Amino acid sequence: MRRTLANLLPPAFVVILALAAWEALVRLRHIPEYLLPGPLRIAAALRDDWPVLFPALLQTLAITGEALLAAAVLGAGLAVLLIQAKWIERSLFPFAVILQVTPLVAIAPLLLIWVKDVRLALVLCAFLVAFFPVAANTTLGLQSADHHLLDLMRLYGSSRWKVLRFIRLPSALPYFLGGLRISGGLALIGAVVAEFVAGTGGAASGLAYRILEAGYTLAIPRMFAALTLLAGSGVLLYALLSGVSYFALRRWHESAVRRESAQTSEEQYRSGL
């Protein structure tokens, strides 16, 4: 407990200091709030505009969540398909790469034209950017299974499905979770970018729409409040996915294992003799 406090104190102090400096700068230089509002003004906007901003936040998060879920399922699914044969990988992977390198802002207008349901189009946009890290990482993970373990499976005449279930999927789990962490942030960005492109014409009313609206009406503190919510959600999403990763891997993977507490079993074994 004391350690966590000691760990949290310095960064908290730095953040408070930075916010105070910002507030001081705005006040001392008399910067108008339509250029740069101070943190206190933003906090006030957050409180006053909560009834407008909170539903918008939920809307954006819902789109992000759905896109991320689809990316996780379909990304892992594609990865499993890709490793079945070299020719499948060679033929399908370029498509994934092309989708990845084409900027979302360029595809989003098309998608909004093609897909009647605006909300579905938004999810699709967010999914497109979130999909690749999961697919690419999981593919790498499935291919990184210990080849001696694969030999062992051959020794017992195991089917492809058993090899996948017993060896390849567990080997790929840390890679999948690493990809998911990246995808979480990307899905949020994708959702916001898509909302921007959909603009005021869109029926949906996520946070991006509120930011655009605030920009048009020069309600800059509200704009900052919406930005704060977005950034905060991004951080929380990342923390959440890191937590999932930690809990899934804490027993065995180097990334999640705590070092100091490890007493080797040989020691236990010796002392037990």
Q: Interface with another protein by CB under 8 A: which residues?
A: 146, 148-149, 151-158, 162, 166-167, 170, 173, 251-254, 257, 262, 264-266, 268-269, 272
Smallest distance from the beta carbon of 68 to another protein, in angstroms? Answer: 24
Separation between Cα atoms, residue 151 and residue 148, nearest integer Å: 5
Residue 214: name the closest of 58, 48, 61 by CA: 48
Instruction: Name which of 22 and 166 has its Cβ closer to another protein.
Output: 166
Smallest distance from the beta carbon of 158 to another protein, in angstroms? Answer: 5
Smallest distance from the beta carbon of 134 to another protein, in angstroms? Answer: 19
Burial 105-140 (b: 16+ CB within 10 A, else e): eebbeebbeeeeebbebbbbbbbbbbbbbbbbbbbb
Instruction: Name which of 82 and 173 has its Cβ closer to another protein.
Output: 173
Smallest distance from the beta carbon of 137 to another protein, in angstroms? Answer: 17
Instruction: Name which of 30 and 147 has its Cβ closer to another protein.
Output: 147
Amino acid 41 reads R
- Per 3-state DSSP, what percentage of the chain is helix, strand, and coil (rounded to 5)? 80, 0, 20
Residue 36: name the closest of 51, 25, 21, 47 by CA: 25
Those residues with Cβ within 8 angstroms of residue 145's Cβ, 6 or more apart along the chain or in another chain:
167, 168, 171, 172
Contact between 33 and 41 (Cβ < 8 Å): yes
Instruction: Name which of 29 and 251 has its Cβ closer to another protein.
Output: 251
Smallest distance from the beta carbon of 164 to another protein, in angstroms? Answer: 13
Residue 116: name the closest of 176, 235, 202 by CA: 202
Smallest distance from the beta carbon of 173 to another protein, in angstroms? Answer: 7
Instruction: Name which of 95 and 252 has its Cβ closer to another protein.
Output: 252
Contact between 85 and 103 (Cβ < 8 Å): no
Smallest distance from the beta carbon of 165 to another protein, in angstroms? Answer: 10
Those residues with Cβ within 8 angstroms of residue 270's Cβ, 6 or more apart along the chain or in another chain:
none
Q: How many helices (H) and strands (E) does the chain have?
A: 12, 0
Instruction: Name which of 13 and 252 has its Cβ closer to another protein.
Output: 252
Separation between Cα atoms, residue 19 and residue 8, nearest integer Å: 17
Instruction: Name which of 62 and 140 has its Cβ closer to another protein.
Output: 140
